[in-house]
Structure 1
Amino acid sequence: MLILTAAVNLLVGICIGLTGIAGFLLPMFYTGFMGMPAVEALALSFTAFLVSGVLGSVSYYKNGKLEVAAAAVLSIGSFAGALAGVRINLLIPEEMIKIILYVVVLLSGISILLRKESKEKTARRRNTGKSRSRWIGYLLLGAVTGAVCAASGAGGPVLVMPLLTLMGFPPHTAVGMSLFNSIFIAVPSAAGYLANTDSMDHMAVMLAVIVISHGIGVIFGSRNAVKINQTLLKRIVAAGSIGIACIKLFIV
């Protein structure tokens, strides 16, 4: 199980480094395949998201693909939203949380497949409107997505990244910003769920494996992001997420 966990985190880390998405597959792996309680699954998943957020955003910042000011405002909202999301999760029955998770993954996969990228149009759209209203918009977006991601285990980028591109940010910049934003979702979420797990000795071993394998994957993916056809990879991940979510919601 540890070897399988390491392999899955490595592969998911690569996908996150390349495109910013796929993190939502981790809680599905822990709950659906390994049969873990939702709280433990989310604690492990958000620890991985913290690793990918830190390593990925640093890499994208070095490549000039991270707008720090907008990402910071977004992340302030996400931190507050994540605090609320953890509390919401702990008040809801575990089976309901799994359903919420699979529904979020399904909708995220559909949104990725349907989203059309147009750099010229989105760039013009982002430059319109008052500056103050944009900052408020980023703050509200962060709060809502932070709460949803913390409660469902969806990670962050899979929801935030498509929305940022629709708001006018170039795809690579949207990935960098969403990875940075995921740090501020992961910190309160990982801490909240870890505080409510029953077996910390078992979790400590899993956490060590996850941090190392996921970190290696994210570093590799982020360094090679410009070499990969991101559109194709996003469609593969989106199609896979839709298929898995449908199986979990309607078959299993």
Structure 2
Amino acid sequence: MNILLILLLNLAVGACIGLTGIAGFLLPMFYTGFLGMPAAESLALSFSAFLISGILGAVTYYKEGNLEIRPAAVMSAGSLLGALAGVKVNLLIPEDVMQIILYLVVLISGASILLRKGGGVGSGSGAEKLTGGRKAAYFLLGIVTGTVCAASGAGGPVLVMPLLTLLGFPAHTAVGMSLFNSIFIALPAAGGYLWNSAGNRELFLLLVPVLAAHGIGVAAGSRNAKRIDQNLLKRIVAVGSVAIALVKLFL
């Protein structure tokens, strides 16, 4: 029964990630909170799934013209370094502290999107020419988000997507960029947590069906994402970010 629940959840979460970029944080919550799985094993399964969702989602969004490669690549270079540090930080800083940091940022990002006036979708600074200053800013943003996400168990888009929207990128482009970015968070994070779980043979047997279910969900979600209006998608992500953060911080 537990295996069936894991597969169904990965299918559903994968579809949500493909549509909006967010929802990946539900996986480690389910593994540790509901199944009582050790943290390292929970994060190993979660970040392995995030790697698949990042690859499949980014490819689909790129084909649809909703992925700004240059700023995403600069940010992802920072995220790769941040994620390497984040795996080590996870062993040094209590997980509940990292969770508080993560969801405070998510809350502020989502609230800022809702309160922001003017500067229509995609017309903000994020869509402008990539200057040296912007490269440095995106790289630093990647380091910070990569560290926080790898240490806390968030896949990346739940934090990165609302931040990119706040910077002025169109909502669909922000999802595509956050999924691309999540590859570079998930790669070192999955490797590190899988290494720490190397003695668990059952975990590695479970890995293939979990990734298959997650991949099917992501593919279905990302192919239908273009049907959602940009402004509607931005509001969905903003409201979802605020709601998720409040629930995690106060309940």
TM-score by length of 2: 0.88
Match of 1:250 in 2: none
What whole-Å deviation, never above 9, does each CA across 1:3-49 have from its counterpart, x for those lacking one? 00011111111110001111111111111111111111111110010
Q: Report the RMSD for the aligned CA atoms in angstroms.
A: 2.2
Match of 1:115 in 2: 113
1:96-107 equivalences under 5 Å are 96-101=94-99, 104-105=102-103, 107=105
Q: Is the 8 A contact 2:125 2:167 kept in 1?
A: yes
Match of 1:150 in 2: 150
The unaligned stretches of length 5 or more in structure 1 are 248-252
Q: Is the 8 A contact 1:31 1:38 kept in 2?
A: yes
Q: Alignment partner of 2:169: what SS?
A: coil
The yes-or-no answer on 1:11 pairing with 2:12 is yes
Match of 2:33 in 1: 32
1:91 Cα deviation (Å)?
Answer: 2.8
1:121 Cα deviation (Å)?
Answer: 7.1
Query: Residues 67 and 129 (structure 1 numbering): CA distance in 2 closer, same or farther, change over 3 Å?
Result: closer
Q: Is the 8 A contact 1:122 1:166 kept in 2?
A: no
1:230 Cα deviation (Å)?
Answer: 2.6
What whole-Å deviation, never above 9, does each CA across 1:123-169 have from its counterpart, x for those lacking one? 24336687110111111110111011111111111111111112221
Q: Is the 8 A contact 1:25 1:241 kept in 2?
A: no
Q: Alignment partner of 1:48: what SS?
A: helix
Query: Residues 227 and 26 (structure 1 numbering): CA distance in 2 closer, same or farther, change over 3 Å?
Result: same
Query: Residues 218 and 131 (structure 1 numbering): CA distance in 2 closer, same or farther, change over 3 Å?
Result: same
What whole-Å deviation, never above 9, does each CA across 1:174-193 have from its counterpart, x for those lacking one? 11011000000000000001
Match of 1:195 in 2: 195
Q: Tell me how far apart the structure 1 counterparts of residues 121 and 13 of structure 2 sit (CA, whole Å).
A: 31
Query: Residues 107 and 71 (structure 1 numbering): CA distance in 2 closer, same or farther, change over 3 Å?
Result: closer
Match of 2:246 in 1: 242
Q: Is the 8 A contact 2:99 2:152 kept in 1?
A: yes
Please tell me the residue identity of whatever aligns with 1:74: M
% same residue: 54
Q: Tell me how far apart the structure 1 counterparts of residues 29 and 174 of structure 2 sit (CA, whole Å).
A: 24
Q: Tell me how far apart the structure 2 counterparts of residues 78 and 67 of structure 1 sit (CA, whole Å).
A: 16
1:100 Cα deviation (Å)?
Answer: 2.4
Query: Residues 98 and 164 (structure 1 numbering): CA distance in 2 closer, same or farther, change over 3 Å?
Result: same
1:58-77 equivalences under 5 Å are 58-77=59-78
Query: Residues 150 and 2 (structure 1 numbering): CA distance in 2 closer, same or farther, change over 3 Å?
Result: same
1:122 Cα deviation (Å)?
Answer: 5.5
Q: Tell me how far apart the structure 2 counterparts of residues 127 and 173 of structure 1 sit (CA, whole Å).
A: 10
Match of 2:44 in 1: 43
Q: Tell me how far apart the structure 2 counterparts of residues 35 and 102 of structure 1 sit (CA, whole Å).
A: 21
Q: Tell me how far apart the structure 1 counterparts of residues 206 and 250 of structure 2 sit (CA, whole Å).
A: 28
1:107 Cα deviation (Å)?
Answer: 4.5
Q: Tell me how far apart the structure 2 counterparts of residues 177 and 86 of structure 1 sit (CA, whole Å).
A: 22
Please tell me the residue identity of whatever aligns with 1:223: R
Match of 1:125 in 2: 125
Please tell me the residue identity of whatever aligns with 1:213: A
Moved more, 156-165 or 60-69: 156-165
Query: Residues 50 and 122 (structure 1 numbering): CA distance in 2 closer, same or farther, change over 3 Å?
Result: same
